[in-house]
Amino acid sequence: MTTGTNRSTATNRAIATDTAAVATEATGAGSAAGATRLVDDGLFADVAPPRLAGARCSGCGTVVFPRQESCPQCSGGTMTAHVLPVRGRVWSWTLQAFPPKPPYRPPAEGYRPYHVGYVDLGEVLVEARLEVPRADIRIGLEVRLITVPAYLDEDGTQVLTFAFEPDPEGER
């Protein structure tokens, strides 16, 4: 059985660490092979290390992701930027076992099955790619936020998205 993890934790960490620097280089210099960008800047509050940009309602405390201008719960409060926690637990998971149709964009090396799931961050559950081997994946697994390569732009720019991997500091 194939698992969705085709990139090592070490690689993920290196990419995550490089993101800010590379993204900065890419800005202004134009895109080129070796450069990276985020799949959508609006999703991120920070890149090295990555933080997700949510919003919180001043009226009822509801936390949403990505940011939106009005509260879906109370319609009353104002929404302010809110950086989401980076650690949580797998709430549910599955495997994408067949290649999705466009507008899905496969990674440079081609489609490989991958895990997705919801991660319980306490104040909100976020849907994300899960960089966890099949043998280890389970509801309740402690995970932490990373970035991973999603696909290549036509000019070779590596596009990064957010994901979660097993948290080395979590309980066994």
Among 8, 104, 108, 133, binds other proteins (CB under 8 A): 104
Phi, psi of 9 (to 5 degrees): -60, -40
Site string for other proteins, 49-88 (x = CB under 8 A): -----x-------xxxxx-----xx---------------
- Between the CA of residue 71 and those of 56, 59, 119, what are the distances in Å? 8, 9, 21
Contact window for other proteins (CB under 8 A) among 7-15, 24-32, 95-103, 164-172: 95-103
Nearer to other proteins, 65 or 146 (CB): 65
91 binds other proteins (CB under 8 A): yes
Phi, psi of 127 (to 5 degrees): -85, 135
Nearer to other proteins, 1 or 10 (CB): 1
Nearer to other proteins, 134 or 168 (CB): 134
Minimum CB separation of residue 99 from other proteins in Å reads 9
Give the footprint of other proteins on this chain (CB under 8 A). Answer: 1, 39-40, 42-43, 54, 62-66, 72-73, 91-98, 100-101, 103-105, 114, 116-118, 120, 122-129, 139, 150-151, 159, 161
